[in-house]
């Protein structure tokens, strides 16, 4: 009876009647049968015999539709155009043959190649075996003796043992023999050898010779002389053949054989054995170990050969024993040569000479190779061992080129944290170590912690050397000094991919330059995009002064000890407050905040600052990864909340002491004395521990130039008292208007209403400049501006303006001088157009791609609020270090001289070049600050540059200062998120934003920072985090600022009188410019030459020339520059109204106080940094929110927050 398969196959081949055939329209594509007469398909059965049909599929016996539908994925239904045989149009074919005609293949005699490769069997029954050459006897021997690592290692170990055994037998023969007393030459050729000893030596010789011949046969490549003339083969023949001959010739059993030469064969076997060992354990970096081993073994072989040779040749002389021979060799090779043991026979002397010559040739070669490998190892850095990686903690720093500044910034910031002191830093860099880096890494403090490896992150071998899979973290930094920054980003991306592929569990900290490349490394744990942060900080510097300085100080680790030795009070305050950083702690575990559970955020922030001097700025729920900066008074603190606060040190390193509330006479509780004492609590920083005394925070009287209370006559207009901060927010008490004044944004003139409300609407930007940019709710125009209207200096059909003055802007301009209009400018514009900024305060932004004087004047530089100079990418690389900023510095200095009242914000490549900003060569105060910077650097400060006036005032910064942000993220994984929220790069619903307010005369009644804190928290829910203070610079006059008259200059000849005259004049900014003009020496000499060479006139003409000459003398340098600018503006057809050439702010200095003490006095013109709650988080349901992309109407906007 036929099985179901046979019925099915018969039907396919036409072997069954039609009534027995399986009726089905699809055709089974299984593969061609061997013949029409044998349509048997083996499925799930035993393997066929040679020549039979090879098994195609394997599955249990079932019907074909079950095979096709469930069990075998290689069997499919497919219609076939041709039929095999005379039956129905069905055929069997291999699934990979795609329905090829079997008859055609058989006619050509071609087997199915793919089927042959898979199963070794062809469809026509021919079985093919591959690699038959490995089945020969020679190949099997070669596989065992040479190719197989483990068996080859065992063979070589056995060979090495045989050679050592032969040398040991030789020593035993020397110790056992008792030579005759004669001095015949026959003792050189004949020795006394016992029969057992001879038998052992013959056995060793037979095995060694057989193995040598076998290995020579296996390594034979067609040249027999190449095998015979090898030194190991010759030595083997010399040491083994005489013993084999003595088997057949007994009289030769006592023949001397130099068996001690087997030590060289043992050395050769040892080298081969070590190589096989390294292959077996897959160790590739072993050249240094091999060379040291070769050197030691060569030295031992030379000494052993010399010992045995001298002892044997002296058998006809003094008959030295082995110990005397050893003593002689050591004394001789050490060049000491006592002379108590010397060779007597000419043969032994000749042997000694030969051995010394060999040693002089061989050993220097070995030492040279060892020294070369050592130098190369020093360059490449060797390996970081697996044992150290598993027992110690290390991080890997991957860079394309390592500069000394980058290295020191990383090491100083990384090791500033106490818990990272036991970590090792492995640097992986493809370039050779530079001289300065090598010098630094040789310092003991760094040489024991830092390991330099030369290699590429794209090579798994180098990643293995650095033990990347065991690393705690991997920092990948881009090279910002490259001309092509996009190419630098591409290299960084490949490094990040390579590290992620090799070590998926290693945390990645990546620095990228261009924002459009950021989405390629979204998988990294922490990413810092340089251009995003740079442009955002530059933008905020225009509306919140010195934001770049504020962020820089927050992300640098410091104890606040900078400037404490300075006599200047502002430097002490500024240095002490620079030690404040952002820390975190769980509320229920905190002493600072535990008592505020169930209370509002603003209540906790105010009272924690009042009691402990810490500033609570943000919160994060336990079940939420989003950080909320100042969520507002309606946020209720929970026990599991993570609190983020600003303080000198973290709470875990603080000790608390309850202090008596009674004040002791003549004793100051404050750390500093003076008008602005920093902490009301006593802070003692020692070994990372801070002791905080809890005491009264009542205001104390202070002498000095501080703000005083309004006079008695002004009591009737004094502001009401400050309301207390409520534990739970009262909606009715919250204000959304101006904080400290009664005028709100709604109270505007009709002109302002028309100019501010007609054009703008709130929403999200319709287009994103690059992938990964965060959508930001901001002010938008209702209609897109035509492209032709974007050119300010060219008129078009829509407007005829060709300069900024003609546009009639209500607010002052912000000018951005950049090399190209890249995608990063999006992050500059968005913070300036953020939704929370009042419309009447939106400044026009002008992009200046080239900055000659004419373009500067056309774009309105004379009435601009700020000018931002972005570092040019084409000048970031220079042959000489620190010269990359030369062009930018000189251009900014020119702007500084031409437009002294212009606020210029500059970005530099190197922080060290900040000392050249607003450079004045003979300014005594700048020289004093330079000395202070050097002292702070000698003390090991990471912020030695902080006292430079342009940096302290926020006029200059370098993006490399933010590298520490990425390094700090290893310990504080929230720092990047908090910084992005502060800069407005990210927006989280319910999170506040950074803004500022200015202290005016109407605000002096608040008096102290603590009262201001209370006022803000109780009224609008704002949290202050610092003060930007500007003071008059009381300096001794410098030569560049002296104003003298022409007559005095001509009459004064000696230096003493000049110095006395200088002391009688004040600064040029406070003196009358017309009475005391500044006379430049060059102009004076030029005027004198004119008076000497010019023709002499008489009468009115002479008087006129004399008057012009006197006017020229009296012109100051600034007057000349002002005249130059005015004349150029007139030539361009521009109005000179508004150009104030005499306005100068060089006599002031500005600095930041981060989280000052509660009793810090407020001063006039102080700018207070605020974190303001999100105004859209508490809007009523009927008012617009972030969900609306565009406001419905522009004339009926809801009341907005006013940014002060």
Segments making up each domain of the chain, as ranges: 1-130, 138-376, 384-524, 542-733+972-1034+1150-1178, 752-958
DSSP string of 997-1017?
EE--GGGGGG-BHHHHHHHHH
Spatial CA neighbour of 956 closest among 538, 480, 533, 529? 538
CA distance 735 to 968: 37
What's the whole-number mean pLDDT along residues 922-941? 79
CA distance 133 to 135: 5
Q: Which conformational region is residue 31 in: left (phi greater than 0), alpha (psi within -120 to 50 degrees), or beta?
A: left
Picking from 426-430, 487-491, 978-982, 1123-1127, which range would have the lowest pLDDT averaged per residue?
A: 1123-1127
3-class state of residue 161 by DSSP: helix
3-class state of residue 903 by DSSP: strand
3-class state of residue 583 by DSSP: strand
Domain 384-524 coded CATH 3.40.50.720: yes
CA distance 615 to 473: 31
- Per-chain mean pLDDT for the chain: 74
CA distance 610 to 1013: 9
Cα-based distances in Å from 841 to 144, 732, 755: 86, 28, 11
pLDDT tens-digit series, residues 121-130: 445 578 887 7
Query: What is the share, in percent, of the chain residues with pLDDT greater than 70?
Result: 69
DSSP string of 910-961?
-GGGGGGTT--TT-HHHHHHHHHHHHHHHTT-TTGGGGSHHHHTTSEEEGGG
- Give all strands (DSSP E) within 479-629, no chain letters: 508-512, 526-529, 581-586, 615-620, 628-629
CA distance 1197 to 744: 14
pLDDT tens-digit series, residues 94-138: 444 444 444 444 444 455 444 444 444 445 578 887 777 777 777
Is 59 within 8 Å of 73 (Cβ atoms)? no
CA 1098 to chain centre: 76
DSSP string of 81-116?
SS-SSSSSS-----TTTTS--HHHHHHHT---HHHH
DSSP strand pairing (654-658 vs 76-77): unpaired
Cα-based distances in Å from 568 to 84, 105, 564, 572, 776: 105, 99, 9, 7, 43
Q: Which conformational region is residue 539 in: left (phi greater than 0), alpha (psi within -120 to 50 degrees), or beta?
A: alpha
Q: Which conformational region is residue 448 in: left (phi greater than 0), alpha (psi within -120 to 50 degrees), or beta?
A: alpha
pLDDT at 726: 80
Cα-based distances in Å from 1140 to 899, 1041, 1118, 1136: 9, 19, 11, 9
Give 489: exposed, middle or buried? Use CB within 10 Å, 0-12, 13-18, 19+: buried
What are the φ and ψ backbone dihedral angles of 908, each rounded to 5 degrees? Answer: -120, 160
pLDDT at 638: 93
What residues contact 579, with CB distance under 8 A and at least 6 apart? 558, 559, 560, 561, 562, 648, 649, 685
pLDDT tens-digit series, residues 862-907: 888 889 998 877 666 666 777 888 888 888 888 888 888 888 999 9
pLDDT tens-digit series, residues 71-81: 333 333 334 44
What's the whole-number mean pLDDT along residues 144-170? 85
pLDDT at 978: 95
CA 1114 to chain centre: 56
**Band of pLDDT at residue 586, cut at 50, 70 and 90:** very high
pLDDT tens-digit series, residues 232-282: 888 888 888 989 898 888 888 888 889 999 999 998 888 888 877 776 665
pLDDT tens-digit series, residues 4-29: 444 444 444 444 444 444 444 444 34
Is 1084 within 8 Å of 1110 (Cβ atoms)? no
CA distance 412 to 391: 24
pLDDT tens-digit series, residues 513-554: 999 999 899 999 999 999 999 999 999 999 999 999 999 999
What residues contact 1053, with CB distance under 8 A and at least 6 apart? none
pLDDT tens-digit series, residues 345-397: 888 888 888 888 888 888 888 888 888 877 777 767 767 888 888 888 999 99
**Band of pLDDT at residue 52, cut at 50, 70 and 90:** very low
pLDDT at 704: 37
Q: Which two tokens stand for residue 1176?
A: 């859209």
pLDDT at 604: 94
pLDDT at 529: 93
pLDDT at 641: 94
3-class state of residue 77 by DSSP: strand
> Of all residues in the chain, what percent are helix, strand and coil, respectively (each to 5)?
45, 10, 45
Cα-based distances in Å from 1184 to 432, 927, 1164, 1172: 60, 56, 37, 19
What are the φ and ψ backbone dihedral angles of 1076, each rounded to 5 degrees? Answer: -130, 75
Indicate whether 1024 pLDDT > 70. Answer: yes
Cα-based distances in Å from 375 to 436, 610, 631: 17, 61, 59
Indicate whether 464 pLDDT > 50. Answer: yes
Is 414 within 8 Å of 420 (Cβ atoms)? yes
Is 39 within 8 Å of 10 (Cβ atoms)? yes
Indicate whether 1190 pLDDT > 80. Answer: no
**Band of pLDDT at residue 597, cut at 50, 70 and 90:** very high
Q: Which residue has the higher pLDDT, 934 or 984?
A: 984
What residues contact 56, with CB distance under 8 A and at least 6 apart? 30, 31, 41, 42, 43, 74, 94, 95
Q: Residue 71 gets which letter from DSSP?
A: I
**Band of pLDDT at residue 86, cut at 50, 70 and 90:** very low
If DSSP states are collapsed to H, E and C, what string results for 176-208?
HCCCCCCCCCHHHHECCCCHHHHHHHHHHHHHH
CA distance 202 to 243: 5
pLDDT tens-digit series, residues 1041-1091: 333 333 333 444 444 444 444 344 333 333 333 333 433 444 444 344 434
Indicate whether 68 pLDDT > 50. Answer: no
pLDDT at 121: 46
CA distance 1034 to 1085: 33
Cα-based distances in Å from 294 to 361, 473, 667: 15, 38, 76
Q: Which of 97-101, 682-686, 851-855, 891-895 has the highest mean pLDDT?
A: 891-895
- Total residues found in the chain within this entry: 1204
Spatial CA neighbour of 381 closest among 426, 424, 435? 426
pLDDT at 799: 80
Picking from 777-781, 1001-1005, 1200-1204, which range would have the lowest pLDDT averaged per residue?
A: 1200-1204
Q: Which residue has the higher pLDDT, 608 or 927?
A: 608
**Band of pLDDT at residue 1140, cut at 50, 70 and 90:** low
What residues contact 1048, with CB distance under 8 A and at least 6 apart? 1061
CA 13 to chain centre: 71
Indicate whether 574 pLDDT > 50. Answer: yes
If DSSP states are collapsed to H, E and C, what string results for 410-479?
HHHHHCCCHHHCCEEEEEEECCCCCHHHHHHHCCHHHHCCEEEEECCCCCHHHHHHCCHHHCCEEEECCC
pLDDT tens-digit series, residues 655-674: 776 654 444 434 333 333 33
Spatial CA neighbour of 1041 closest among 1139, 1147, 895, 1112? 1147
pLDDT at 73: 39
């Amino acid at each position: 009876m036929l099985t179901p398969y046979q019925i099915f196959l018969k039907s396919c081949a036409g072997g069954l009647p039609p009534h027995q055939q399986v009726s089905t329209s699809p055709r089974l594509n299984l593969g061609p049968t061997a013949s029409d007469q044998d349509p048997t398909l083996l499925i799930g059965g035993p393997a066929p015999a040679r020549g039979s049909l090879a098994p195609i599929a394997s599955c249990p016996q079932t019907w074909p539709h079950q095979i096709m539908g469930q069990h075998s994925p290689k069997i499919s239904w497919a219609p076939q155009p041709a039929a095999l045989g005379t039956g129905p149009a069905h055929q069997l074919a291999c699934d990979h043959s795609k329905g090829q005609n079997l008859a055609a293949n058989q006619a050509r005699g071609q087997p199915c190649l793919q089927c042959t490769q898979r199963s070794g069997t062809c469809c026509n029954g021919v079985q093919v075996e591959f690699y038959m050459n490995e089945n020969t006897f020679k190949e099997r021997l070669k596989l065992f003796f040479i190719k197989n690592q483990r068996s080859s290692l065992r063979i070589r170990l056995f060979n090495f043992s045989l050679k050592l055994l032969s040398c040991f037998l030789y020593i035993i023969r020397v110790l056992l023999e008792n030579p005759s007393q004669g001095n015949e030459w026959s003792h050189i050729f004949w020795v006394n050898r016992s029969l057992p000893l001879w038998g052992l030596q013959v056995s060793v010789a037979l095995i060694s010779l057989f193995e040598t011949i076998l290995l020579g046969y296996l390594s034979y490549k067609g040249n027999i002389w190449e095998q015979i003339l090898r030194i190991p083969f010759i030595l083997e023949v010399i040491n083994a053949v005489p013993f084999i001959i003595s088997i057949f010739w007994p009289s030769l059993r006592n023949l001397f054989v130099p068996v001690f030469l087997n030590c060289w064969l043992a050395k050769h076997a040892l080298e081969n054995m070590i190589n096989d060992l390294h292959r077996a354990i897959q160790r590739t970096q072993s050249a240094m170990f091999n060379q040291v081993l070769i050197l030691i073994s060569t030295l031992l072989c030379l000494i052993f050969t010399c010992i045995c040779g001298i002892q044997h040749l002296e058998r006809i002389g003094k008959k030295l024993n082995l110990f005397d021979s050893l003593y002689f060799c050591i004394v001789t090779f050490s060049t000491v040569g006592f002379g108590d043991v010397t060779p007597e026979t000419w043969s032994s002397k000749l042997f000694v000479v030969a051995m010394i010559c060999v040693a002089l040739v061989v050993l220097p070669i070995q030492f040279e190779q060892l020294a070369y490998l050592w130098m190369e190892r020093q360059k490449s850095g060797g390996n970081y061992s697996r044992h150290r990686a598993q027992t110690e903690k290390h991080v890997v720093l991957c860079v394309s080129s390592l500069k000394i500044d980058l290295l020191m910034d990383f090491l100083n910031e990384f090791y500033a944290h106490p818990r990272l002191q036991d970590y090792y830093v492995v640097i992986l860099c493809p370039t050779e170590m530079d001289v300065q880096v090598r010098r630094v890494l040789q310092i003991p403090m760094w040489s024991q912690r830092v390991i330099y490896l030369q290699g590429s992150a794209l090579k798994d071998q180098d990643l293995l050397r650095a033990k990347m899979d065991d690393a705690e973290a991997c920092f990948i930094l881009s090279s910002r000094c490259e001309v092509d920054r996009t190419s630098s980003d591409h290299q960084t991306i490949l490094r990040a991919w390579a590290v992620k592929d090799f070590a998926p569990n290693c945390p990645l900290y990546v620095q990228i330059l261009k924002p459009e490349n950021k989405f390629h490394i979204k998988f990294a744990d922490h990413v810092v995009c340089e251009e995003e942060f740079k442009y955002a900080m530059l933008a905020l510097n225009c509306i919140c002064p010195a934001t770049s300085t504020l962020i820089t100080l927050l992300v640098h680790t410091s104890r606040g000890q900078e400037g404490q030795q300075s006599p200047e009070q502002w430097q002490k305050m500024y240095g002490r407050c620079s030690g404040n950083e952002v820390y975190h702690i769980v509320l229920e575990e905190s002493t600072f905040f535990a008592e505020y559970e169930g209370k509002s955020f603003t209540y906790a922030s105010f009272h924690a600052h009042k009691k402990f001097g810490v500033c609570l700025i943000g919160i994060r729920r336990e079940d939420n990864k989003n950080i909320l900066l100042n969520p507002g008074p309606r946020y209720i603190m929970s026990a599991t909340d993570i609190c983020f606060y600003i303080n000198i040190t973290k709470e875990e390193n603080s000790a608390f002491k309850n202090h008596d509330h009674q004040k002791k006479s003549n004793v100051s509780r404050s750390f500093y004395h003076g008008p602005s004492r920093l902490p009301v609590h006593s802070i003692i920083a020692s070994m990372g521990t801070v002791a905080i005394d809890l005491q009264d925070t009542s205001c104390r009287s202070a002498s000095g130039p501080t703000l005083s209370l309004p006079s008695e006559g002004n009591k009737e207009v004094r502001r009401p008292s400050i309301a207390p901060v409520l534990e739970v927010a009262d909606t009715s008490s919250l204000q959304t208007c101006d904080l400290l004044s009664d005028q709100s944004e709604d109270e505007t003139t009709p002109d302002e209403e028309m100019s501010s409300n007609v054009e703008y609407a709130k929403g999200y930007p319709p287009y994103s400049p690059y992938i990964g940019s965060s959508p930001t709710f901001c002010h938008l125009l209702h209609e897109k501006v035509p492209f032709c209207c974007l050119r300010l200096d060219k008129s078009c059909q829509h407007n005829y303006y060709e300069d900024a003055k003609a546009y009639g802007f209500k607010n002052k301009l912000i000018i951005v001088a950049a090399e190209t209009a890249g995608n990063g400018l999006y992050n500059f514009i968005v913070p300036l157009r953020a939704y929370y900024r009042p419309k009447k305060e939106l400044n026009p932004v002008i992009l200046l791609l080239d900055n000659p004087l004419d373009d500067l004047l056309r774009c309105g530089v004379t009435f601009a609020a700020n000018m931002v100079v972005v570092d040019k990418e084409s000048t970031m690389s220079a042959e000489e270090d620190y010269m990359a900023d030369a062009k930018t510095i000189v251009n900014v200095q020119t702007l500084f001289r031409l437009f002294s009242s212009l606020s210029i914000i500059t970005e530099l490549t190197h922080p060290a070049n900040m000392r050249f900003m607003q450079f004045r060569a003979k300014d005594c105060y700048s020289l004093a600050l330079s000395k202070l910077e050097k002292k702070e650097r000698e003390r090991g400060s990471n912020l030695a540059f902080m006292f430079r006036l342009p940096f302290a005032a926020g006029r200059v910064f370098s993006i490399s200062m933010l590298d520490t942000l990425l390094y700090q993220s290893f310990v504080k994984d929230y720092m990047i998120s908090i910084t992005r929220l502060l800069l407005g790069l990210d927006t989280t619903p319910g999170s506040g934003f950074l803004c500022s307010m200015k202290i005016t005369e109407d605000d002096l009644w608040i008096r102290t920072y603590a009262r201001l804190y209370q006022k803000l928290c109780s009224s609008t829910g704002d949290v202050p985090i610092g003060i930007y203070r500007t003071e008059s610079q009381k300096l001794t006059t410098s030569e560049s600022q002296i104003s003298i008259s022409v007559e005095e200059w001509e009459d004064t000849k000696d230096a003493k009188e000049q110095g006395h005259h200088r002391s009688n004049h004040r600064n040029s900014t406070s003196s009358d410019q017309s009475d005391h003009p500044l006379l430049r020496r060059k102009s004076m000499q030029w005027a004198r030459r004119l008076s000497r060479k010019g023709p002499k006139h008489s009468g009115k003409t002479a008087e006129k020339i004399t008057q012009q000459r006197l006017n020229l003398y009296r012109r100051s340098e600034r007057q000349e520059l002002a005249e130059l600018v005015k004349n150029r503006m007139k030539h361009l057809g521009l109005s000179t109204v508004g150009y104030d050439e005499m306005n100068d702010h060089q006599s002031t200095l500005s600095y930041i106080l981060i989280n000052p003490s509660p009793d810090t006095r407020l001063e006039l013109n102080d700018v207070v940094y605020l974190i303001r709650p999100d105004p859209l988080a508490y809007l009523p349901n009927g008012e617009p929110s972030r969900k609306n992309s565009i406001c419905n109407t522009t004339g009926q906007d809801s009341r907005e927050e006013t940014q002060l």
